[in-house]
Amino acid sequence: MPLLAGKLGVVFGVANKRSIAWTIAQAWAREGAKLAFTYQGERLKENVEELAGTFGADTLILPCDVTKDREIAGVFRTVSEKFGKLHLLLHSVAFAPKDALEGEFVNTSREAFGMAHDVSAYSLVACARAAEPLMEARAGGSIVTMTYLGGERAVPHYNVMGVAKATLDSSVKYLAWDLGQKDIRINAVSAGPVRTLAARSIAGFPTMEEIVEQRSPLH
């Protein structure tokens, strides 16, 4: 019996076939989960429709800019209407202005700092809050977000995104405390460098890849 047979999930963060969210969604679907997807803006709609459509023409695909409470509410309202409950939530979303990922962290503007934290960390809190009643209705669930080592240690060029990841990591712990009482688990997966759209904005990304290749046990 597949591990996730009968489970219902929603996936935030597929931009294209290289997205970490897409790889996770494929694994979840392979294990039997039925999934809904969100996309940010018309620019990505076609990509996500094409990818998510491989799970069936009736796959639920909804717009959501995670900085907009109204759009988050819309996603969970529709998921509630179509699924009635929810077992899985993948939050694989992050953003910082490109110029904040170059040069020195000390030069981060107030605007870039706020935006990185809003998109990359607060959005997890907002999505978890919206998912909670749907997961509770099913007596539990699992929320997964994506983090990176740059939240624990200073990694050259990762700058404000590292600080946002530290906020994300801490939010995971506080959310775990609140939601654990309702049998909702929340975990952050810390990925190594993966060549995706988001990774392109990070200056020095090839150096990160080289270091991981040299030092990680599986090279």
Minimal distance, residue 193 CB to ligand NAP, in Å: 4
Minimal distance, residue 169 CB to ligand NAP, in Å: 11
Minimal distance, residue 120 CB to ligand NAP, in Å: 6
13 part of the interface to ligand NAP, by CB under 6 A:
yes
Start-to-end CA distance of the chain, whole Å, equals 33
Site map (CB under 6 A) of ligand NAP, residues 112-141, x = contact: -------x----------------------
Which of positions 176-205 make contact with ligand NAP (CB under 6 A)?
191, 193-194, 196-199
Per-residue buried b or exposed e for 179-195, using 16+ beta carbons within 10 Å of the residue's own CB: beeeebebebeeeebee
Which of positions 46-75 make contact with ligand NAP (CB under 6 A)?
64-67
Minimal distance, residue 93 CB to ligand NAP, in Å: 4
Tell me the C-alpha to C-alpha distance, in Å, between residue 172 and each of 27, 131, 133.
23, 14, 18
- Tell me the one-letter amino acid at 174: Y
Tell me, yes or no, if 158 is annotated catalytic. Answer: yes
What residues have CB less than 8 Å from 64, skipping those under 6 apart? 12, 38, 39, 40, 71, 72, 74, 75
Task: Determine which residue in the list 37, 83, 95, 158 makes contact with ligand NAP, applying CB under 6 A.
Answer: 95
The Cα–Cα gap between 33 and 30 comes to 7
Tell me, yes or no, if 148 is annotated catalytic. Answer: yes
What residues have CB less than 8 Å from 150, skipping those under 6 apart? 158, 161, 162, 165
83 part of the interface to ligand NAP, by CB under 6 A:
no
> Which residues contribute to the site for ligand NAP (CB under 6 A)?
13-15, 19-21, 40-41, 44, 64-67, 92-95, 119, 146, 148, 191, 193-194, 196-199
Residues identified as active-site: 148, 158
